[in-house]
Chain A
Amino acid sequence: MAKWGMVIDLDKCAGCQACTVACKEENSVPHGSPQEQGQRREIYWNRVIAVSKGEYPTVRVEFIPIPCMHCEDAPCVTVCPAKATYRRDDGIVIQDFRRCIGCRYCIVACPYGVRGFNFKDQTEEEYHRPDLPPTRADRGPWPFPQRIRGVVEKCTFCFHRIDQGLKEGKKIGVDVVPACVEACPTKARTFGDLDDPDSEVSRLLATRGSFRLREELSTHPKVYYLHG
């Protein structure tokens, strides 16, 4: 079984937020007003934060794109009382809306702040994809192509693309990648199988120095960053 992971080259990231937009589009992530964004009520599966160090004139700003880390030992999976968040065999951490009771314990427990709660019903937006759910609509985590209020959601590494690609015999990481990887204009993101020594992600991790966010918490994230 593959172990899907992502490598993000901070040296290449320009902070353009194309990944954030592509993710919203691909997954029909609910839309929020600027006011809701300020209140931290808008849902982002992927976000890019700017981190500054130092004082003018010796200041340095780095952009850190943050999708879900799909931790090997995910605190959200441990604390979810309803089995709504679970880890698939390939390591992807999934949120099942049908099971979610909306207790928000996972938002409290997530060390990366990647989870979002549906504070209202999703409004119809033109970017929403009518073709979702692509697969597993009958039993998978997508019973509601439109979200209902009161459930938590998060990044899925575009598992629907991966599942579809595997079914069609395509090479994951080369022919099929998550939407954020596909949209990145600087090719800062790479996706692939961390267990496969020939994959591009393995090659990057072997040749460049890398780190993961908040490694001291031992959640073992599967999103790696190459030093900028």
Chain B
Amino acid sequence: MDLTYSPIEGKSRGYRIMVAILSVMVAVMATSYLVAYLNGLQVWGISNSVPWGQLITLDIYFIGLSAGAIVVSGLCYVLRREEYKPIGRIAVFMGLLLFTGAMVCVLVDLGRPEKFWRLFMYGYLNNMTSMFAINSIWYGGYILLMLVYLWLALENKTRLAMIVGTIDVLWAIGVHSFTGAIFGLIGTREILFSPIKPFEFIAAALTSGTALLILVVVVAFKFSKRYIDKKVILSLGRLLSIIIIVLFAMVFFDKFTHIYFPHRAGTVFLFTGHYWWLFWVFQIGMGLIIPLIILFHPKAGKSVKGVVIASISVVIGVLGERAALVIPGTAQVQQLYPGTIEGVWGAAGVFPITLWETALALGIVALVALLFVVGLKYLELLPTTEVAEVGEAPEASEVSEASVSTVEAEG
């Protein structure tokens, strides 16, 4: 099957409105960042008890989505599976943009962003025992690899794309497992500390990356009036269901290990503390149980609509999973001395949702979405097959408005 790709026209009313809305959100992002930069991070919800907030949550979420998208692109460029060819380019492009978004998140989260270059001094002025410094190697290499990979994919240099793609898929797995290690290696925080964390991150990346790719592909093909074989979506749905089971097993054994032994205060706090809903509703409910029920439902699991709804649930659930790691992970009171610590020092951390931090986080999502829709217009990312030529793509057009708005919100 020889595919030709073409950019979308981008002259429709809907496209212009979308670009306009996203541009406004990016402008709001720039403003809210300026506010935070000039006033200090006091305008955010973070504190000395919950030092990482929405930006770090979004950062690791984006890195996961990017790694997931790149790994799925490997189905097309590394394993050379013909049926995934229509989504290959878009997966690589998504990987690059989402990772750019992640880097914006981590940059604006720094207290002194102008000194970010210290992270990239590779042992000279930075401390290579820090996971942040080690990750500067992973992240720097990852961006370069993705740029080359995307260029090769756009140029149809399949042989080279296979080589670079293989390295990039492995590198993406490295990127995300070391991102997990940022948290998993912190021995003092019971909720974070776990040798399984890097693997859990990879599994979460694959679930959220595949789910977002499904959503983006369905919506992009529908709105550009192009045809995608239903089988591609359904097989991605099957892939999704398998990775969710792997993720489920990892989360289960991680929490089971931590709650089995009497040293369980951290896990009890996660399960029953004031952020219980992040774990139960989002991570377990929307991230694992609901999508599994839908995907294994004899009817819903075999329709594009069902797969799309499961994907929406995963995309939101995994964002909640990241928040359930970052926020309760540090909010838990560290037991310095046996007994009850009185007053403010013994109270679990609270993370208020503040205007400027939320505007900044949503703005970064909008920035990624804007780059994506502009990319669709100027790069040859989508295959040209018209709906009319094939005649029949009923499932894809049944996608509800809800999924469309979610994709816009999630990038």
Contact = CB atoms under 8 A, between A and B. Distances in A.
Interface of A: 36-41, 43, 47, 49-53, 61-62, 64, 66, 75, 77-83, 99-105, 107-113, 115-121, 148-152, 213-214, 217
Contacts of A77: 127
A226 to B, nearest CB: 14
A39 B352 CA distance: 10
B118 A111 contact: no
Interface string B100-135: 000000000111110110110000011101111100
User: Which one of A47, A81, A149 has the greatest number of beta carbons of chain B within 10 Å?
Assistant: A81
A218 to B, nearest CB: 9
B110 A52 contact: no
A213 B112 contact: no
Contact of A117 (B51, B334, B339): B51
A98 to B, nearest CB: 9
Given A38-B344, A82-B119, A107-B51, A51 B339 contact: yes
A194 to B, nearest CB: 21
A147 to B, nearest CB: 10
B186 A108 contact: yes
Contact of B115 (A51, A61, A82): A82
Contacts of A50: 341-343
A107 B186 CA distance: 11
B125 A111 contact: no
Contacts of B192: 108
A101 B111 contact: yes
A101 B116 contact: yes
Contact of A217 (B111, B113, B126, B187): B187
Contacts of B188: 75, 109-111, 214, 217
B337 A213 contact: yes
B118 A117 contact: no
A64 to B, nearest CB: 5
20 contacts: A36-B42, A39-B47, A39-B350, A49-B341, A49-B343, A50-B341, A51-B339, A52-B340, A64-B337, A75-B187, A81-B118, A82-B115, A100-B115, A102-B110, A104-B46, A108-B189, A112-B334, A119-B40, A149-B111, A214-B188
The interface residues of chain B, by DSSP majority, are classed as: loop
A36 B339 CA distance: 26
Given A105-B130, A118-B111, 7 more contacts: A50-B341, A78-B127, A81-B131, A82-B118, A82-B127, A101-B115, A113-B49
B47 A99 contact: no
Contacts of B40: 118-121, 149-150
A113 B48 contact: yes
A174 B253 CA distance: 54
Contact of A83 (B111, B126, B136, B182): B126
Contacts of A75: 186-188
A53 B48 contact: no
Contacts, number: 167
A112 to B, nearest CB: 6
A215 B350 CA distance: 27
A50 B336 CA distance: 11
A151 B133 contact: no
B130 A213 contact: no
B39 interface: yes
B337 A51 contact: yes
Interface string B274-309: 000000000000000000000000000000000000
B330 interface: yes
B349 interface: yes
B221 interface: no
Contacts of A64: 336-337
A225 to B, nearest CB: 9
Contact of A150 (B47, B111, B127, B349): B111
B41 interface: yes
B338 interface: yes
Contacts of B112: 100-102, 148, 150-151
A80 B127 contact: yes
B261 interface: no
Contacts of B118: 81-83, 99, 101
Contacts of A103: 109-111, 132
B50 to A, nearest CB: 8
B342 A104 contact: no
Contact of A41 (B48, B186, B187): B48
Contacts of A148: 112
A49 B342 contact: yes
B132 A49 contact: no
Contacts of A112: 334, 336
Contacts of B52: 104, 108
Given A101-B116, A107-B51, A51 B338 contact: yes
A113 B334 contact: yes
Contacts of A52: 339-340, 342
Contacts of B340: 51-53
User: Which one of A37, A83, A103 has the greatest number of beta carbons of chain B within 10 Å?
Assistant: A103
A79 B127 CA distance: 8
A148 B330 CA distance: 25
A181 to B, nearest CB: 20
B195 interface: no
Nearest to A60: B339
Contacts of A43: 48
B273 interface: no
B141 interface: no
User: Which one of A104, A121, A148 has the greatest number of beta carbons of chain B within 10 Å?
Assistant: A104
A113 B182 CA distance: 18
B260 interface: no
B131 A79 contact: yes
Q: Give the 4 A-B CB pairs with smallest separation, nearest first.
A: A102-B111, A150-B111, A149-B40, A81-B132
